[in-house]
Structure 1
Amino acid sequence: MPPCRSSRSEITTYREPEDTVASCDVPDLAADLRRRAEADRRARNELLRTGRPGDLFEVDAENTMWLKAIVAEHGWPGVALVGEQGADDAWLLVQHADRDPEFQLEALELLQIAVDAHDAPARHLACLTDRVLVAFDQPQLYGTQYTGEGAGMHLLPVHDPERLDERRASAGLETAASYDRRMRAKYQGSSLRTEGRDGADRHMTSR
């Protein structure tokens, strides 16, 4: 399981959607999430196309700083607050906040509460769980994280691989074999190799 903090008091408290709706302009927040997610995708598509990061790191840093402020003020932006698209966009931003693993860990705990409250999809939790586990050098649970480039692209270590598809199904994810085919179709022909945390390869997911 992902590493735990020593004190729950360090974690931003999850706020029920009805408490946050009155304190922010929901359409503007959802629109900001959409704009930032689109910038994220543009930067990554450019990396896939050229093999160069361009402004990817700057986009990630700005998005991470902004999302941290939103979470601190309003709690996790779940479906009830920003809609399904907004929740998807918020997950994408935190999934790519690789240079701030402590924030990813904080967001993971808030996302767990949101999923339990049916305010976020389980697939978001599965993907971020793997991202956090990999960041802390632990085997992933759902097999969503790959690394390497071209023919050398490979799945990072997985805990209890015999039950991988069982765990994936419980999170609403496709089979590992189907996901692997999509990953290779998308990334194997590229020269994707970007510097991530501590000079290591940035880990890849399909989003």
Structure 2
Amino acid sequence: MNRAGVDPELAALRGELIERAAVDQRARAELDPVAPMPEQWEAVQRVDEDNVRWFAPIVAVHGWPGRRTVGVDGAHAAWVLAQHAPAPYRACWLPKLRAAVANRDAAPRDLAFLSDRVATDQQRPQHYGTQWLRLGTEAAGRLYPLRRPAEVNLARADVGLDPLPDSAIEAAYSSFTEITAATRGGSP
């Protein structure tokens, strides 16, 4: 501990999490919003791979970096890294984030996004309606399938997310079979 009572290792971890999340967001901001170029995606993938190499051992050894250890901004930055990690890592880290939220050491909102991301990775309907899919050149995306469309805005309110418009809920994909058919240019 230093004189201010802050553990220098935790302060360094917090700073590294925040910096890595900022690099992640910059790489994604550079993607062409209409038609990202392959080299833009390659840059994003390099950032994600570097972040996973650094972050995975931290979570494996120390558990989820929560608010009490890395602050609110550090804990949110940890979620950014997890959200953009490969699907197997996300699935592995979801219970750790869930436990941190249960202990009031992470944000329920972050858990909602990661929970939905893992559900869509596993081709299961999402609960909070945080994951969208934009195919081809369509202007707006559509929500991945919803577990209980009529209750999605109640679930969102529980974690502090704004409600979705009824039109977005009604336009959500009904199943992953429909998504597969849409990506192949056919009908379900």
TM-score by length of 2: 0.78
Distance 1:66 1:169 in 2: 34
Any runs of at least 4 consecutive aligned residues in structure 1 with deviations exceeding 3 A, and if so which? none
Equivalenced residues, count: 157
Distance 2:59 2:42 in 1: 28
Specify the alignment match of 1:74 in structure 2: 62
Secondary structure, aligned partner of 2:32: helix
Amino acid at match of 1:118: R
Trace 1:99-138 onto structure 2 (pairs within 5 A).
99=86, 101-138=87-124
Extract unaligned runs of 5+ from structure 2: 1-5, 169-182, 184-188
Specify the alignment match of 2:36 in structure 1: 51
How much has 1:67 moved relative to structure 2? Answer: 1.0
Trace 1:45-194 onto structure 2 (pairs within 5 A).
45-48=29-32, 51-52=36-37, 53-97=41-85, 99=86, 101-148=87-134, 149-151=137-139, 153-177=141-165
Task: Indicate if the aligned counterparts of 1:47 and 1:54 stay in contact, CA closer than 8 A.
Answer: no
Q: Which has the higher contact order (CA 8 A, sep 6+)?
A: 1
Extract unaligned runs of 5+ from structure 1: 1-20, 181-199, 201-207
Amino acid at match of 2:32: L
How much has 1:77 moved relative to structure 2? Answer: 0.3
Secondary structure, aligned partner of 2:105: coil
Distance 2:110 2:21 in 1: 15
Which of the numbers 15, 21, 24 marks the counterpart of 1:37?
Answer: 21
Task: Indicate if the aligned counterparts of 1:139 and 1:156 stay in contact, CA closer than 8 A.
Answer: yes
Amino acid at match of 1:138: R
Specify the alignment match of 2:3 in structure 1: none
Task: Indicate if the aligned counterparts of 1:37 and 1:93 stay in contact, CA closer than 8 A.
Answer: yes
Amino acid at match of 1:64: V
Distance 1:110 1:48 in 2: 33
Identity value in percent: 38
Higher-Rg member (1/2): 2
Distance 1:48 1:144 in 2: 21
Q: Could you list the per-position Cα deviations for residues 48-98 of structure 1 after superposition, in whole angstroms to 9, with x for gaps in the alignment?
A: 35722241011011111211111112110000000000001000110011x
Distance 1:130 1:69 in 2: 24
Distance 1:90 1:79 in 2: 10
